[in-house]
Amino acid sequence: MAKRTRAKSQIGRGEAAVLLIPSLLPIMVLSVTPLLIGVFLAFTDARLVRNPEYHFIGIDNFIRLGGNSMFWDSFRIGIIWAVSVTVLQLVLAMGLALLLNSGLRLQSLTRVLALIPWAMPPVVVAIMWRMIYSANAGPLNAALGGLGLPSSINWLGDFKTALPAVIVVGVWVGMPQTTVTLLAGLQQIPRDLYEAGALDGAGAGRLFTAVTLPSLRGIIASITSLNFIWNFNSFSLVYVMTEGGPGGETMLPMLFTYLEAFKNRNIGYGAAMGLVLVLIVVTLLAVYLRAQLRGDKEA
């Protein structure tokens, strides 16, 4: 063991630094530095113009933001979107993972299908679903018509249906990763736990709540946290599908902030929005993960 440790430390500090620098440099210059400047910009009145002049204006942006009802509308939509997509992703992915773990045929076909949404460019996904949702010549309305249901719904153009419609697409895109992760978790659960439970006379439902769910607790907590962050920060999919319309019904916070920063050219104000969103998301996550952790201890 001692020898092993010595061998491991064969990589000297200097050597390690030399090998790490090529990776650290671009991350520092193009990722950490912009982040810090971004935080700073939130306290200025910077605008996206040639030869800009910045003034430090303290927390003015944040005070203004407090009274910006359009921003908070967009925030509310963002929360509805992120929570619905994350929960539906989890439920549907759990169903699929359980099916894929129960020795059915057609498994490999389903696995490939389940991964395709993940590989596709968001723009292509958006174009594809715009065709599915097409009011006049879309297969969705045609199918509803075939069943004798209302068949002229303008899914992405109607105030009532636009948000649910984009949520479905969000679920479609995000299901693969969640399914694969849950499936990996399922395959880690020792068989004898189920056998013992079955001997005690537990049915399938009881086994799921007593064995499966507790075993997957950690994985569920981490994948839902990640999904929530990704969904809340999502931009491309909805931007290409609706550009935030109709009438702002699908105006996710990132779309709103993007428009403020690059169309209205208020980058200081936009940065303040970004910062507020990060703080809220981190707080929500902290509360959620704490509750999960506490549950873990009690369990």
Q: Take residue 45 and report the two structure tokens written for it.
A: 């009145």
Residue 242 structure tokens:
């609706």
Does 226 bind another protein (CB under 8 A)? Our answer is yes
Q: Is 235 in the site for another protein (CB under 8 A)?
A: yes
CB of 29 to another protein, least distance (A): 8
Give pairs for 160-168: CB < 8 Å, separation 24+: 162/242, 162/245, 162/246, 162/249, 162/250, 163/77, 163/80, 163/81, 163/249, 163/250, 165/133, 166/81, 166/237, 166/238, 166/241, 166/242, 166/250, 167/81, 167/84, 167/85, 167/88
Asked if residue 181 binds another protein (CB under 8 A), the reply is yes
Considering only 79-87, 135-143, 157-165, 288-296, which stretch makes contact with another protein by CB under 8 A? 135-143
Torsional sign, CA 170, 173, 175, 177: negative
Nearer Cβ to another protein (62/258): 258
Between 200 and 243, whose beta carbon lies closer to another protein?
A: 243
Q: Should residue 96 be labelled a site residue for another protein when binding is judged by CB under 8 A?
A: yes
31 binds another protein (CB under 8 A): yes
d(Cα 123, Cα 114) in Å, to the nearest integer? 18
Q: How close are the terminal C-alpha atoms of the chain, in Å?
A: 36
Subset of residues 44 to 63 that bind another protein, contact rule: CB under 8 A? 48
Is 297 an interacting residue with respect to another protein (CB under 8 A)? no
Residue 194 interacts with another protein (CB under 8 A)?
A: no
- Residue closer to another protein (CB basis): 8 or 297: 8
For position 22 contacting another protein by CB under 8 A, the verdict is yes
Q: Does residue 240 belong to the site contacting another protein (CB under 8 A)?
A: yes
Rounded least distance, CB 249 to another protein, Å? 19
